[in-house]
Amino acid sequence: MATPEPDHDHKEEDDAPAAEDEDTGAQVAPIIKLEEVVVTTGEEDEDPILDLKAKLYRFDKDGNQWKERGAGSVKLLKHKQSSKVRLVMRQSKTLKICANHLVLSTMSVQEHAGNDKSCVWHAPDFADGELKDELFCIRFASVENCKSFMETFQEVTESQKCKEENKDATAAADALDKLTVADKKSEEKVEEVPAAAKEDESKTDVENKAEEPTSSA
């Protein structure tokens, strides 16, 4: 009995290399189209003059204790037009604002007792959407950063104080100028009155002479 011959054609098909995927040129559109969103921080019109990592605390009067407000970056931002300086601090992960107030001439910052890496100050803060008088304590990773913060903070308060003094001096000078102008106008009016009175007197003399009876010859 003859044995069946091997199926060479089938073997050749098995041994043939698999065909590579062909590029059809078709483009698959994404299911969701993402649009670019412009995110504003409210700091576009300000220049940073200080930016340091720190941890912020606020004093809880009711509980009579310090409570952590957040850890992140504390900045001193100077407005490009008004030159006012604002302190802003955001939490590092959530970017939630934990401090937001102007640095005023009446403020002062002091080293926290017993810790040369921390300092404290009072401020009317607007972080929660309304003004609250807060006592803040901020702690830095190094003594150098704490000193840098305190020095820059104090320089800002001094510069604001000088601006207010210059503003007051300018206002006083303007008020003096207005007063001087008013005095000059008053003097001019006083000088005009005698001249008018003299004219009236001369007119009266002429009229009286005209009314005097002439003597008969």
Strand pairing of 85-91 and 46-60? Answer: unpaired
pTM of the complete model: 0.62
> Is residue 134's pLDDT more than 70?
yes
For 154-196, the pLDDT digits (tens) are: 999 999 988 888 776 677 777 777 776 666 666 666 565 555 5
Which among 74, 70, 28, 82 has a CA at the least distance from the CA of 51? 74
Q: Is residue 98 predicted with pLDDT exceeding 70? A: yes
3-class DSSP assignment, residue 127:
coil
Residues 136 and 54: beta-carbon distance below 8 Å: no
pLDDT digit string (tens) for 194-213? Answer: 555 555 555 555 455 555 55
At residue 108 the predicted structure's pLDDT band, cuts being 50, 70 and 90, is very high
Higher pLDDT residue, 103 or 4?
103
Model confidence pLDDT, tens digit, residues 12-50: 455 555 555 566 666 666 677 767 666 677 888 999 999
Cβ-defined contacts of 63-68 (< 8 Å, 24+): 66/137
Q: Is it the case that residue 2 has pLDDT exceeding 90?
A: no
Residue-wise pLDDT tens digits, 51-84: 999 999 999 999 999 999 999 999 999 999 999 9
Question: What's the confidence (pLDDT) of residue 106?
Answer: 94
